[in-house]
Amino acid sequence: MEKAGTTSGAAGKRASADGFRLDINALRALSVIAVVGFHFQIPGFAGGFVGVDVFLVITGYLMTTKVLNDLRLGRFSPWTFWMMRMRRIYPALAVLTIASVIVGWFVTLPAEYLKHLLQALSALTFFSNFAFKSDSGYFAMAAQTKPLLHTWSLSLEWQFYFFMPLIVGLVWRLALRAKSGINAVVVALQVFAALSLAWCLWASQHDATGSSFFSLQARAWEPLAGGLIAAAEIRRRSEGVKTSWLEQPIIALAGWALVAACTIYPLPEARWPGVLTILPILGASMIVAARQGTGEGGLLALSPIQRIGDWSYSIYLWHWPIWVFALGWLAVRGYDVGSAQKIVMVLASLALGALSYRYVEQPVRMQRDFWTPRALLTASGVSFAVFAGFVSLAFLNHGFPGRLPDYLLPAELARRTNTPRDECFRNANSTKKATEIYCSFGSASAAARPSAILWGDSFANQYLDPISSAALANSIHGLIATQSGCRAFVDDAARHASDQRPCRQFNRSTLDFVMAQAEPSIVVLGSIWGTAAEVSVLVDRLLSAGKTVVFIMPLLHIGFDLPQRWIENQIRAGKAIDEWKVEASPGLTMSTFRGELAGVLDRHRDNPHLLTVDPLSVVCEHGYCYLVRNGQANFRDTAHISNVNASQYAGLFDAAFKAALRAGTEAEKKKD
């Protein structure tokens, strides 16, 4: 999010060797337009998220240029550099952050508000990429509920600002004794960029959680690409070479075309950054290196383009909170998000961006006699201390629940409950907080008693509380083998080639564990099932090994965030809605798929070792399904059951475990 120079606007500026560049300002304009278009879901911007990557190239180029020039002139100071960056970034960020907290006071539920406040603190301390990385799991709040989510990129940039000048300054001073400072810097930047790119490519293939999206280690090569261009230019000029073969219109044109194509084409977000990230970085680097379109009479110098480039940082700051809060406002009132609404949001982003640039960014940057480093640090420190005090007060008061009607709190309670025994629930990389291989539930382990294992994904783990209660009542010791986004299956190289490697390995190891010994003899299977054929292979394998299978049938596919819709309906009604039932339609109950599952399971209908648990019988009756009953939500999102009402399924599992024990007893009698 960097300005392509240090002056106040684009008009009347000409490009010098290290002066204001109209082409970079235009590239910033394209980048912020791409990001806004993507976030606002405007057609033609399917890959607009690459705008952030382009910004990183720009910031790497400009800041490396600044550091190297100061080193050449013998005036480099890390403190001066950091204060320059703070003057540029912090005031507008602070205003936006406080504004979002004020708006959130009126529209955000207590628990969400506390999360918002913590995210605001992380944004103001430039650690929000770490905060959002830790909040990016399977059950994390949706992006549309995080008004400051976009600040992760600012935190990542600031971390680059911290480390880059220190490393470049150190390398320069060490190598200066050999009169090869710039050459050493080029080599150092190449090494760090290569290491970062290698890590990025490895993580994109092996990190199933996608946490590298927020990581400086996986993205440092992006600003370093710009930094290498800056270092090469400075080295070339120091050697008396004025121009490079890259400084040609065809190079710039190809770069613009590549960035535009990446913006339009629906690039996959799932493995970003990754190998495809090289494309927008290459395009941006070509534009920066070509140094074309810097004249005042060209297309890139048009006032609208340059104005958006000037305002781009503030536009970026404001557009995402506008989108988040507008979505909530429209949803509560039952409005769709159409073209008219998106146009209004785009105009609001432009307007607030322009105002922020004019009345926040520029005064702090230009009025240096008033906004001295000491004044800036004092104002920032006092403001942060006051805000931190407010956050502390908010936590002491549990998010100030009195701000909103009491009847909304049950919906929030349903939404905020995490998956049971979260420390035992493996993430997509198959790692968990608990140290033991399989956590336990139910009664204590006993040699003479059968044991069970719960195997599957979050749709198995959601029943852990009622399963634990039923296991304890029947003196059954249980083990937990559940992993995020990983349904239970018998791994097959051809059939499951597209599944994540950690998931395949998890299923292989779990199956090996179950099959290698007599216990656990009871296998409880729950998942968001793939196909009936896949289920058939798994059930057949377990039954053939003498295991008792407790198969959990799928529940409902709601298709919308139930607690959020419940909140919206109650706000519109102006009162509590204690009961909400809907018709048990085929789509809601997934009747076709349930029929397919019943068909493959029916082959074992005479086998007492196959037991079916159907939770649909608990929430649906007489042709209707209860989404809310007795003032409590039955679901915490689009499909997972709410922990608040999980106990209502305990009877189903108690009956299943009793039947499993009887089947085991009968089998033992037959052996005797």
327-354 pLDDT, tens digit per residue, is 989 988 888 899 999 999 999 999 999 9
Amino acid 206: pLDDT: 85
Amino acid 136: pLDDT: 65
Residue 148 amino acid letter: L
Q: pTM for this structure? A: 0.88
Amino acid 209: pLDDT: 80
d(CA 73, CA 82): 18
In three-state secondary structure terms, 418 is coil
Sort 247 into a burial class: Cβ within 10 Å, 0-12 / 13-18 / 19+. middle
- Structure tokens of 158? 């600031």
d(CA 3, CA 580): 53
Amino acid 8: pLDDT: 42
Amino acid 179: pLDDT: 56
d(CA 572, CA 574): 5
Amino acid 97: pLDDT: 97
Rg over alpha carbons for the chain, rounded to the nearest Å, is: 29
How many CB atoms are closer than 10 A to CB 482? 30
d(CA 165, CA 180): 17
Please report, in angstroms and rounded to a whole number, the separation of the first and last CA atoms in the chain: 77
Smallest Cα–Cα separation from 70: which of 59, 56, 84, 54?
84
d(CA 193, CA 211): 19
Amino acid 12: pLDDT: 40
Amino acid 4: pLDDT: 46
Count the alpha carbons within 13 Å of 151 in the hemisphere toward its beta carbon.
28
In three-state secondary structure terms, 11 is coil
Amino acid 10: pLDDT: 46
> Taking the mean position of all CA atoms in its chain, how far away is CA 456?
23
Residue 309 amino acid letter: G
Residue 590 carries which DSSP code? Answer: T
Count the alpha carbons within 13 Å of 499 in the hemisphere toward its beta carbon.
22
Residues in the chain where the model's pLDDT stays below 50: 4-16, 138-139, 178
Smallest Cα–Cα separation from 477: which of 613, 664, 657?
657
d(CA 399, CA 402): 9
